[in-house]
A and B are shown apart, each in its own frame.
Chain A
């Protein structure tokens, strides 16, 4: 996998020295909190309800085991011994002291990790398909392009003080596993009929209080011209966007205001004037990056494994293989998901011990590589089928073998009012109460694919607009209430969820979910997922059931 070279490493050292200097100036009172805020934000440091929160970037959602062990160590040494994986494939530590932050950044920089641009009004950490380099349906490794964009966007002199944050995601497989249409820029890599790599460029997606799905502004962008085209998009945004109302400064608002045709016209006009040769990476650099993402050679394996098949005699292991094990591009190999969604626990949390264990397993069985999925789960991307039983056996006692990928208990939730200053309501206890209600794995599997997303406020960090069931925390006269919506998805069938009806109290939520599930089971036709049924029948039957039983 990609490793930083001496130049990248020197940049990280310079960055953490710069931050140490800035933190010292803040601690001595030389600069004000107002002046310090954007500086600490560009290094991922937020001031939350109880302490500072540090958001560490996991570029391309890919970690080597040295990095994962270092994260475990940092969490143990400077925090409470656990970390929270987020929907943007970052790791958040919620109990940090400002005076420790420079040492933490140094410790991270030693293993090529950082918190650069994980917050602030700049180009954020860029995400990609968590199965990149392993899945059979991809036409290129999207991380090649993420790395190209990481370089281009790091410390960008022109785009570090944008109107608002700016998020980019890339998919290079037919199936979109990165929810690209919910991003400021979503990129879908395909091959043209004559075999050239080309991006479909989508702009103006986003969640928050005015959710939009990104619109296509270019069907075919020659892949090698990606950076200069993005430069044109960013320049139009930086120059044209409003700056007078924080709620109207995302690019989605600019695109909606100008209209997609006019926005596209401006971008194309800007692009025509931009010196592409100054910005686009030379082929040699792209080739260097691509070579770095080549996996090690795969030992040839028989396409099926007797050990693997025999282990399925254990029904729990069999369920694990149905939910958490996915086809790999190389026969005899698999992609293994590790769920951080144990019913009753905080979604996305992993303890330092769990991180160490996953690192050990990745060293033993997965070419030393671990992935972070935006669904807040971990992935071992390159596993021999024959090794899956051993991995399962090791994960189980550590509470990491829950077989619930994409099921009702695989809930995405933001930190909510337990940590976040912006929250209206708690998200974690709601997730826990739903997951406990559906903890019976057999029942969860019978219900089938059902994504629940919970956000503690309209900022939508829990992607509630993209949940088959979305749950949004709202404030009702000082009380925590929750608004349900149905029918959302961030994948290929992307659509925003629609509000079901009046908000309800937290304790009423598990019953309401139960009612939604029962209604689905009554109405579902063969093979339909919850989402399909909702989209076919519309909200009415669900609405009637939930609000009738609430009366």
Chain B
């Protein structure tokens, strides 16, 4: 499965191992394993309710996985994305003070924001913008952690503070240009047309300077022209901005066109993984999709 047709030797940026997620009686994810290679565009596909969004939520820390590990490995710096959320204390912690303190630290100050700080940004299936703030403010908020947040310097409007704000504005304008929204800089985010909101959400995620960006159905609700623009944008992000893209998408044209590696999920399990050419002819995948289509038709 790791015979990915990528130019660089395989070095997974993200590896998901044995991910299991249970909601009460529902087994939403059952032992999911996959890897996302550095600088690749990887797609996560599957019929409705297969558990794709749940995988995203576990990776980005919005759900605490029942079991399994999510490891981010960026240039030798390894982050355990489950640990930073804050885990339950284990018996072994009581005889191992450093482990105890570490867990206590993450329990107090950990959370899904740590996942983003480690380098994973995301967008949401149902767009989550700050609707009553302007487009510009949305992008400035995204840079919160890189800004000068010192209250006194801000109040006195010192040089350091002004420089920090100016840099943030430049970054924001840069990303607006990339997603072609410069015209809308001073409009309320909630007033934008749907397609622009999707692109703004991508720009906002990019403002956090991620290594891996997870896009949850970025083409949903877009017209064919916008979908083509979106695929150009996603390629541009990967080629020019050195980010790795993991995306969930139902638009097979888009998925087959831009992704190098595809992971197929059905009923919470990985049923296939490989290149688009392999996936296209995989009988299991065809069965999963055709099966649901037949179900819909009857």
- A and B: real partners? no
